[in-house]
A = this chain, B = another copy of it.
Amino acid sequence: MNKVIQVGLLGMGTVGTGVLKLLQKNGASIEQRVGAQIVIKKVLVRDLSKSRPLPVDAIMTTVVEDILDDPDIQIVVEVMGGEHPALEYMLKAMQNGKHVVTANKDIVAKYGRELFETAEKNQVDFQFEASVAGGIPIIRPLKQCLAANRIQEVMGIVNGTTNYMLTKMTRDKSDFASVLAEAQAKGYAEADPTADVGGWDAARKIAILASIAFNTRITLDDVYVEGITAISPQDIEYAGELGYCIKLLAIAKETPRGIDVRVHPAFLPLSHPLAPVQDVFNAIFVSGDAVGDTMFYGRGAGEMPTASAVSADIIDVARDICHNVASRILCTCFDEKPVCPVRYTETPYYVRLLVEDRPGALAAIAGAFGAQQVSLHFVIQKRKVGDCAELVLITSRVPDADLRLAINTLRGMSVVREVQNVIRVEAAIE
């Protein structure tokens, strides 16, 4: 008879329910893979009386010690969300010699170091594949499959809500507000959409990915963040005309000034592998010095895709238990690299301006850019708006600080009625 490995589940929301379903549905083949039966022994819930989609009455508890202090439970799976008390529960579980699996990006992005140190000290596994990009394998590929590479760049579409919204805005030429309302109605966006549309969810994920890719601890505070609220159908249309799409990108690159790590909407060439990523799908593009360009694509959220990633971690830990090994791959942040301040980051920029439609206007604008050493790669006059003309321009590659100075100058010029939008251009073909 096979060994039994017992698991305690903290939380039974969407992801926890998915994990229970999946371990049940594919339990037989998982047992064959692992050489042991994986059993959920107890589930921590807040409310015992709430009706549940699965028959779990017999294993529910509201007392966390029933899990953390149960010597038979070898793996604790945290899928309750939030920072506290989830963090304390995980630390306690490790101190009690239990391996920990989590899907909690907030905690990994903020308390990664503490969790890794505690795991190492207590010689237990700490796994968090589901914390970034749901079902898409990306943590393990970065830590193992690309381990021989010096990673140069990680660039991802890691927030399904905003990618769905930008896809909709592109397809239907509809505006931000109406697409947001629709996404909320479909359950793709929260009532308070700030975490998604403000870029904060993506920022947590790129903090985690950057830490692994560049072997230095990057936290949420290190990430420069801009959301998509200012993107208009007009910008999307002009992007298309110029051979680009607009995506909310989470980017991390190693530069001579440190790790350049940011989340913002960007023009992306239609020929880039990330450009065809539609709707709620996620994808992460990784460049390494040996492997070249790679990409990992799939569903970044949802009950079963996330359960797939959490369960893969459980299986991995169970394999470790069967082979009597732990902490085989832990923290890989063995360097301390500085973060490159956003003012030094360099990209071309798309700028959309409303200017007075009179002779000399363009010369004045070009002069304002030139004064900051910003050269213009491309300028085109688009539609008339009242007595004004809409001007679209793409700059050459410039430091963010120089661009900001030029934009400030423009804002003070009588010929410029409005600076309508400023959007970075990524992966431009130069």
Which stretch of A56-64, A146-154, A167-175, A384-392 is in the interface?
Answer: A146-154
Q: Which of B144, B299, B320, B334 contacts A32 (CB 8 A)?
A: B334
Within 8 A of B (CB), among A240-296: 273, 275-276, 281, 283, 288-296
Nearest CB in chain B: distance from A350 CB, A: 23
- Given contacts A147-B33, A328-B323, A332-B33, whether A292 and B316 have CB atoms under 8 Å apart is no
Main secondary structure of the interface of A (DSSP, over half): mixed
- The 8 A CB mask of A298-313 against B (1 = contact, 0 = none) is 1100101101110110
Minimum CB distance partner of A142 in chain B: B137
Instruction: Indicate if the CB atoms of A148 and B23 lie closer than 8 Å.
Output: yes
Q: Is A136 an interface residue (CB 8 A)?
A: yes
Nearest CB in chain B: distance from A3 CB, A: 15
Q: Which of B30, B141, B148, B296 contacts A26 (CB 8 A)?
A: B148
Instruction: Indicate if the CB atoms of B144 and A140 lie closer than 8 Å.
Output: yes
Instruction: Indicate if the CB atoms of B136 and A294 lie closer than 8 Å.
Output: yes
In Å, the complex CA distance between A127 and B146 comes to 15
- Given contacts A145-B129, A145-B137, A276-B276, whether A150 and B26 have CB atoms under 8 Å apart is yes
Tell me which residues across on chain B come within 8 A of A25, comparing CB atoms. 150, 289
Minimum CB distance partner of A277 in chain B: B273
Q: Which of B273, B297, B299, B311 contacts A148 (CB 8 A)?
A: B311
Minimum CB distance partner of A278 in chain B: B271
Nearest CB in chain B: distance from A230 CB, A: 29
Minimum CB distance partner of A332 in chain B: B33
Nearest CB in chain B: distance from A410 CB, A: 37
Interface centre among A291, A293, A327 (most CB of B within 10 A): A291
Q: Which of B291, B294, B305, B328 contacts A292 (CB 8 A)?
A: B305
Q: Is A191 an interface residue (CB 8 A)?
A: no
Q: Which of B140, B292, B295 contacts A140 (CB 8 A)?
A: B140
Interface centre among A18, A149, A309, A323 (most CB of B within 10 A): A149
Instruction: Indicate if the CB atoms of A140 and B145 lie closer than 8 Å.
Output: yes
Tell me which residues across on chain B come within 8 A of A283, comparing CB atoms. 295
Q: Which of B294, B316, B329 contacts A298 (CB 8 A)?
A: B294
Q: Is A110 an interface residue (CB 8 A)?
A: no
Minimum CB distance partner of A149 in chain B: B308
Q: Is A319 an interface residue (CB 8 A)?
A: yes
Instruction: Indicate if the CB atoms of B276 and A290 lie closer than 8 Å.
Output: no
Instruction: Indicate if the CB atoms of A137 and B323 lie closer than 8 Å.
Output: no
Q: Which of B215, B290, B305 contacts A290 (CB 8 A)?
A: B305
Q: Which of B135, B147, B290 contacts A291 (CB 8 A)?
A: B135
Nearest CB in chain B: distance from A297 CB, A: 4
Instruction: Indicate if the CB atoms of B299 and A291 lie closer than 8 Å.
Output: yes
In Å, the complex CA distance between A136 and B215 comes to 21
Nearest CB in chain B: distance from A99 CB, A: 14
Q: Is A414 an interface residue (CB 8 A)?
A: no
Within 8 A of B (CB), among A308-365: 308-309, 311-312, 314-316, 319-320, 323-325, 327-329, 332, 334
Given contacts A140-B141, A290-B304, A292-B304, 7 further A-B contacts (CB under 8 A): A22-B148, A33-B332, A136-B291, A144-B316, A290-B311, A292-B299, A325-B328
* Chain A contacts to B: CB under 8 angstroms: 18, 22-23, 25-26, 29-30, 32-33, 129, 135-137, 140-141, 144-150, 215, 273, 275-276, 281, 283, 288-299, 302, 304-305, 307-309, 311-312, 314-316, 319-320, 323-325, 327-329, 332, 334
Ordered by A's residue number, 29 sampled pairs between the chains whose C-beta atoms are within 8 Å are A30-B148, A32-B332, A32-B334, A33-B147, A33-B332, A137-B137, A137-B144, A140-B140, A140-B144, A141-B141, A147-B311, A147-B316, A149-B308, A273-B297, A276-B276, A289-B304, A290-B307, A290-B311, A291-B299, A291-B304, A292-B298, A292-B302, A293-B297, A293-B298, A294-B297, A295-B298, A319-B329, A323-B325, A325-B328
